[in-house]
């Protein structure tokens, strides 16, 4: 029990400064040609992880449960200790400690909510009026064809963008939001190569070594045992079509022939897919 609480609390603290939005169910595609022209399309969910959702996922139990408390004989050496029933006094102490921790968590969640609002330009996904204003503002920007709030910070969107890759392409970018983990990022190098990476199109890998920006959400999901967790996981596909030379890629099947002499790379993001899609093209 104590180990779980530490893991969940640590993940929740990381969540406040790390992963704040993620794909839900989605379908994304990028068509990139040797001359630098491209078109990108994303249809599906963009999910703002609200403080309420994070707190719910990190909560082991809704209230103090004396049956979860454990007491031991020979408590100086817990490795050899024998479990015994807790006394009324020990349960009272445990309840007092639980109440103190609950008050601390509540105050911490309030601070995290304010931090999230600041990072997202004042947007509170739990405030319907703020969400409506954000939705209308987003629709006024190029590329956003449809934005519908489904509730609890989940937006159903259609985004389409075409142009020349003479600078980095990043999706998504939100008005008045300064802190974003890219779903897709295409970078053109001076030697004519283009690196494409999709950091958010993968399952988070948890709290192990090499913590990634998405790792805090993975650790939180692992800590809760995934039982009824409100935190979403990416689920969908990302397709790259190109007539350029494919130098490297990490798809499961490699490049396959597409229409008009193109090559098609496809990544399917499911429950076991933890590697972010990557490809390197020669334009």
Tens of pLDDT along 175-190? Answer: 666 566 789 999 999 8
- Of the candidate ranges 105-114, 214-223, 245-254, the one whose mean pLDDT is the lowest: 214-223
Digit-coded pLDDT (tens) for 48-76: 775 555 555 554 446 788 888 888 876 56
pLDDT for 187: 95
- Asked if the structure places residue 78 within a domain, the reply is no
- Asked if the structure places residue 228 within a domain, the reply is yes
- Asked if the structure places residue 203 within a domain, the reply is yes
- Number of domains within the chain: 1
- Asked if the structure places residue 173 within a domain, the reply is yes
Long-range (24+ apart) CB contacts under 8 A made by 27-31 are: 27/236, 27/237, 28/183, 28/184, 28/198, 28/201, 28/236, 28/237, 28/238, 28/239, 29/238, 29/239, 29/240, 29/241, 30/184, 30/186, 30/196, 30/238, 30/239, 30/240, 30/241, 31/240, 31/241, 31/242
- Asked if the structure places residue 184 within a domain, the reply is yes
**Which position has the higher pLDDT, 196 or 210?**
196
Under the banding of pLDDT at 50, 70 and 90, the label for residue 112 is low
pLDDT for 233: 83
Q: For the residues 197-204, what does the mean pLDDT come to? A: 88
Domain holding 196, by residue range, is 2-60+116-282
- Asked if the structure places residue 110 within a domain, the reply is no
- Asked if the structure places residue 25 within a domain, the reply is yes
- Asked if the structure places residue 248 within a domain, the reply is yes
């Amino acid at each position: 029990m104590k180990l779980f609480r530490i893991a969940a609390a640590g993940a929740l603290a990381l969540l406040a400064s790390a992963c704040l939005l993620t794909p839900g169910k989605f379908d994304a595609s990028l068509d990139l040609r040797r001359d630098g022209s491209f078109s990108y399309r994303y249809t599906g969910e963009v999910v703002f992880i609200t403080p309420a959702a994070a707190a719910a996922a990190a909560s082991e139990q809704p209230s103090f449960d004396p049956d979860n408390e454990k007491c031991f004989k020979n408590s100086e050496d817990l490795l050899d200790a024998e479990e015994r029933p807790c006394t009324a006094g020990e349960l009272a102490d445990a309840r007092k400690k639980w109440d103190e921790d609950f008050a601390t968590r509540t105050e911490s969640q309030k601070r995290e909510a304010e931090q999230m609002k600041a990072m997202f330009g004042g947007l509170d996904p739990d405030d319907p009026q703020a969400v409506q204003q954000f939705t209308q503002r987003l629709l006024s920007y190029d590329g956003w064809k449809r934005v519908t709030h489904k509730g609890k910070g989940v937006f159903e969107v259609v985004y389409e963008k075409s142009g020349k890759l003479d600078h980095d392409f990043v999706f998504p970018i939100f008005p008045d939001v300064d802190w974003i983990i890219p779903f897709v990022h295409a970078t053109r190098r001076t030697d004519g190569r283009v690196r494409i990476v999709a950091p958010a199109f993968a399952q988070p890998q948890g709290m192990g070594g090499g913590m990634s920006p998405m790792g805090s959400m993975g650790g939180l999901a692992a800590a809760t045992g995934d039982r009824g967790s409100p935190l979403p996981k990416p689920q969908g596909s990302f397709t790259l079509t190109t007539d350029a030379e494919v130098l490297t890629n990490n798809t499961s099947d490699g490049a396959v022939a597409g229409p008009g002499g193109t090559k098609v790379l496809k990544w399917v993001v499911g429950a076991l897919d933890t590697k972010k899609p990557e490809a390197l093209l020669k334009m």
